[in-house]
Amino acid sequence: MIELFDNLSEANANICLLILAASGIAYQVTGHPDEWTVWVHAEDSETAIAEIEKYFQENQDIPDGNEIWSGFSRKIHIGVGAATALLAGHVFMVHHGGITFYSEKFGASASAILNGEIYRTVTALMIHADAVHLTGNMAALALLFTVVCSVQGFGVACFCLLASGALGNYVTALLYRTSHLSIGSSTAVFGALGMLISHQTFNSFRVAKPRFRAWLPLGGGLCLLGLFSEGAHTDILAHLFGLGSGMVIGSIFELSSGKPPGPLFQYLFFSLTLAVLLLAWLR
């Protein structure tokens, strides 16, 4: 490997690493506070410099450290807020009817969905069997949803997350047709993972050399699918179709613009997401 930049501050080194990672360029970093050195393979050096220069050309008004941290904090709050909404919903269900009642009335029953109760593809995403099931999905949602928000914006990310989960549940129902009931936000969580895979794959195809690196995000996603789909009560097909739905939706986003729309569209899609949730629960 060759030295790309040296004597970088930690903040500038982190920016370079994020750009290289998003571009699918392998790197190494060495050093200590305020004297960081970034290394890349010789054949990637020209591409790496071009991508970093492109980034700074497109971001002339670079915010200071406090502004960067403030923006990052807001994205974290969105992910944590979504996870907290799941917790609040679970507590309400436990104390007002019980999980069994809501699973029967609002779970993703394959036969009921195919008989016209489409709302179940949405409501099932907010029902969890127990605290362990809930906690795992809350943690995954807080992390992955935060990253998706940074790629698509909070409103578009909310809508795409809900759409990927609902689509995944619907395709699962089409496969099983009868005698199948699914609950939990895992389908949407894997939808978020699918959207991130699409984002990283598209970025890699644009700049990566050799091209085989563009497929690495997909390989990593499939490994995570296998890793987190073990267990007697795990619905691996729902996870798989959630992942696939997220990749399709993420690809549509990347092909349409690949950049977060403005505030007006973000609030429009956020309002649409809330409306879909409300209508689904009101049946």
Predicted confidence (pLDDT) at residue 177 exceeds the cutoff of 80: yes
pLDDT by residue (tens digit) across 180-229?
898 999 999 999 989 988 888 887 765 544 555 555 555 665 665 555 55
Kindly state the average pLDDT of the residues 274-283. Answer: 94
Please give the domain boundaries of the chain with CATH numbers for all domains: 2-58 (3.30.70.1530), 73-282 (1.20.1540.10)
Predicted confidence (pLDDT) at residue 233 exceeds the cutoff of 80: no
Mean pLDDT of the chain: 82
| Phi, psi angles (nearest 5°) of residue 56 | -75, -25
Q: b/e per residue, 131-167, with b = 16+ CB within 10 A? A: eebbebbbebbbbbbbbbbbbbbbbbbbbbbbbbbbb
pLDDT by residue (tens digit) across 85-109?
999 999 999 999 999 999 999 999 9
Widest distance between CA atoms in the chain: 64
Confidence class for position 72, pLDDT limits 50, 70, 90: very low
The pLDDT of residue 202:
81
Angstrom distance (rounded) from CA 1 to CA 38: 10
What are the residue ranges of helices labelled H in the chain?
10-22, 45-58, 65-95, 99-106, 110-114, 120-123, 131-152, 154-176, 186-207, 216-227, 236-256, 263-282
Question: Can you tell me whether residue 52 is helix, strand or coil?
Answer: helix
Cα distances from 148 to residues 74, 123, 144, 235, 251, in angstroms, run: 13, 21, 6, 23, 13
pTM: 0.70
Predicted confidence (pLDDT) at residue 7 exceeds the cutoff of 80: no
Q: b/e per residue, 65-81, with b = 16+ CB within 10 A? A: eeeeeeeeeebbebbbe
Q: Counting every residue, how long is the chain?
A: 283
Q: b/e per residue, 107-116, with b = 16+ CB within 10 A? A: bbbbebbeee
| Phi, psi angles (nearest 5°) of residue 5 | -140, 150
Q: By the 8 A CB rule, do 221 and 198 touch?
A: no
CA 196 from chain center: how many Å? 5
Question: Can you tell me whether residue 232 is helix, strand or coil?
Answer: coil
Q: Which two tokens stand for residue 117?
A: 């109760």
| Phi, psi angles (nearest 5°) of residue 261 | -65, 175
